[in-house]
Amino acid sequence: MADGAVLETRRGGCVRSVGGTVSFSASGGHLPNEVLAQAIRELSEWRGTGQGVLELPFTGPAFKDLQAGAMSSLRALLRLPEGYRVLFMQGGASTQFSLVPMNLLRGKETASYTDTGYWSKRAIAEALRYCRIELLPPHGLPATPGTAYLHVTSNETADGWQYREFPDTGGLPLVADMTSDFLTRPIDVSRFGLIYASAQKNIGVAGLTVVIVREDLLGGAHMLTPSAFDYRMQAQSDSLYNTPPVFAVHVAGLVFAWLLAQGGLESMQAAARRKSLCLYDVIDRSDGFYRCQVAPEARSCVSVCFRLAGTALTRAFLGEAESEGFLHLAGHSRVGGIRASLYNAVSEEAATALAEFMQDFANRRG
Ligand SMILES: *Cc1c(COP(=O)(O)O)cnc(C)c1O
């Protein structure tokens, strides 16, 4: 396959001038162009082995090296402290909604959750099958003594709400669903007991779920937990308990290396701030033409959600945006409105071009 053709249609630089498209999708695996080109090349030939990456047996040294390389790049990106294990799992973040209580209740009957939007509600609904839930406001502590952990959703993908500062839990393990803002900013991992993120938002392609867990929380999974979903089992087998999602692990390794080469998470944070601010700026100066319902101090740097007055205007916006090459801007189906997801692979040029389009649309229709 000609890499050039792929790069040509995807170049997000100046959307209109090259006639390309940019996806602002919340869920599609959006890859940096260089990573996509390398992943395509290595599908047929992996580093002089004469084999494609999908042909590597997961039990052999080549795949073990590949996986170890990906994990060590991730450790470097996060400056992971001692005492934490990186697990590569499957099932997506939605499966973690169950695996967290199955692994971390350890005989307790209550867990604490904050409800900050759509995804925390989904996590709570699933956890209710395993335990009682104590609901806390976003920064409201302390939790009742005897609760097993506090679960938070770092970025509410559907609602555009993001934690700036995480709650201080004292000794209680803090668990975070970071699926939509993982690797978009530096985090102090030592404050968390467990972090999880499925890959298709900022890491690469669907099929892989990254779990970072403090070693003292391993062990004590409920006896009915499937072995492949027992954190201790996966830690003991170096995440090779059963066949891993080889291609997703490979792409993740390429993305981690790309992030390191871009200057790491500080650079990603600065870029996410600039990208989101240029959109919020148009919204705030539009005299109510665009409305963002999230308070400024909690606005997400990666999921910019806003509304226009009425469905007809919203449809017109989405239609014109699409014909200009700005794809998948419709809000989450439960929330409506507009949403621009600004994951790491969305370029600053693409965000600027979208801001210009929004300004132009407001000038014409406002
Ligand atoms: C997308 C998303 C999920 C769901 O992820 P799956 O891998 O599809 O299960 C969960 N939590 C958050 C915050 C998300 O953005």
Q: Tell me: the pLDDT tens digits for 215-232?
A: 999 999 999 999 999 999
Residue 281 pLDDT grade (very low, low, confident, very high; cuts 50, 70, 90): very high
Q: CA-to-CA distance for 276 and 340, rounded, in angstroms? A: 9
Residue 366 pLDDT grade (very low, low, confident, very high; cuts 50, 70, 90): confident
Question: 92-104 vs 118-127: helix axis angle to the nearest 10?
Answer: 40
Verify whether ligand 1 is closer than 6 Å to residue 325 (CB atom).
no
Which residues, in sequence order, are CB contacts of 311 under 8 Å at separation 6+?
Answer: none
Q: Give the torsion sign (CA, 230, 233, 235, 239).
A: negative
The per-residue pLDDT for range 182-227, each reduced to its tens digit, is 999 999 999 999 999 999 999 999 999 999 999 999 999 999 999 9
Residue 28 pLDDT grade (very low, low, confident, very high; cuts 50, 70, 90): confident
Cβ atoms of 191 and 163 within 8 Å: the answer is: no
Rounded to an integer, the average pLDDT of 86-112 is: 98
Indicate whether 348 pLDDT > 90. yes
Give distance in angstroms: CA of 200 to centre of ligand 1. Answer: 9
Rounded to an integer, the average pLDDT of 285-298 is: 97
Is 119 one of the annotated active-site residues of the chain?
yes
List beta partners, residue 151: 113, 175
Rounded to an integer, the average pLDDT of 111-121 is: 97
Phi, psi of 187 (to 5 degrees): -135, 150
Give the pLDDT confidence score for residue 6 in this predicted structure: 38
What single-letter DSSP state applies at residue 217? G
Verify whether ligand 1 is closer than 6 Å to residue 143 (CB atom).
no
* Ligand 1, atom 12: closest residue by C-alpha: 179
pTM of the shown model: 0.94
Give the pLDDT confidence score for residue 140 in this predicted structure: 77
Indicate whether 11 pLDDT > 70. no
Residue 19 pLDDT grade (very low, low, confident, very high; cuts 50, 70, 90): low
Give distance in angstroms: CA of 64 to centre of ligand 1. Answer: 27
Atom nearest to 153 CA in ligand 1: 13
The per-residue pLDDT for range 134-159, each reduced to its tens digit, is 999 999 777 788 999 999 999 999 99
Which residues, in sequence order, are CB contacts of 305 under 8 Å at separation 6+?
Answer: 158, 159, 160, 292, 293, 294, 331, 335, 337, 338, 339
Residue 75 pLDDT grade (very low, low, confident, very high; cuts 50, 70, 90): very high
Q: CA-to-CA distance for 246 and 51, rounded, in angstroms? A: 14
Give the pLDDT confidence score for residue 138 in this predicted structure: 94
Q: What's the farthest any 2 CA atoms get from each other in the chain?
A: 62
Give the pLDDT confidence score for residue 30 in this predicted structure: 83
Pocket test for ligand 1, best of 179, 180, 300, 328 (most atoms within 8 A of CB): 179
Cβ atoms of 225 and 102 within 8 Å: the answer is: yes
Indicate whether 1 pLDDT > 70. no
What single-letter DSSP state applies at residue 48? T
From residue 86, alpha-carbon distances to 154, 189, 191, 239, 320 in Å are 19, 12, 16, 9, 43
The per-residue pLDDT for range 301-340, each reduced to its tens digit, is 999 999 999 999 999 999 999 999 999 999 999 889 999 9
Pairing of strands 110-114, 132-136: parallel
Give the pLDDT confidence score for residue 144 in this predicted structure: 85
Give the pLDDT confidence score for residue 17 in this predicted structure: 39
Give the H/E segment covering residue 194: strand 194-198
Catalytic one among 46, 161, 181, 201?
A: 201
Give the pLDDT confidence score for residue 232 in this predicted structure: 98
Is 281 one of the annotated active-site residues of the chain?
no
The per-residue pLDDT for range 240-252, each reduced to its tens digit, is 999 999 999 999 9
Q: CA-to-CA distance for 91 and 107, rounded, in angstroms? A: 24
Atom nearest to 155 CA in ligand 1: 13
Rounded to an integer, the average pLDDT of 28-42 is: 90
Verify whether ligand 1 is closer than 6 Å to residue 119 (CB atom).
yes
Give distance in angstroms: CA of 179 to centre of ligand 1. Answer: 6
Higher-scoring residue by pLDDT: 57, 142:
57
Is 275 one of the annotated active-site residues of the chain?
no
Token readout for 122 is 């989904």
Q: CA-to-CA distance for 151 and 97, rounded, in angstroms? A: 10
Residue 7 pLDDT grade (very low, low, confident, very high; cuts 50, 70, 90): very low
Token match 């963002």: residue?
Answer: 292
Which residues, in sequence order, are CB contacts of 110 under 8 Å at separation 6+?
Answer: 131, 132, 133, 134, 144, 146, 147, 148
One-letter identity of residue 44: S
Q: Which class for 151: exposed (0-12), middle (13-18), buried (19 or more C-beta within 10 A)? A: buried
Atom nearest to 154 CA in ligand 1: 13
% of the chain surpassing 70 pLDDT? 95
Which of 14-28, 90-104, 260-274 bottoms out in mean pLDDT, i.e. has the lowest?
Answer: 14-28
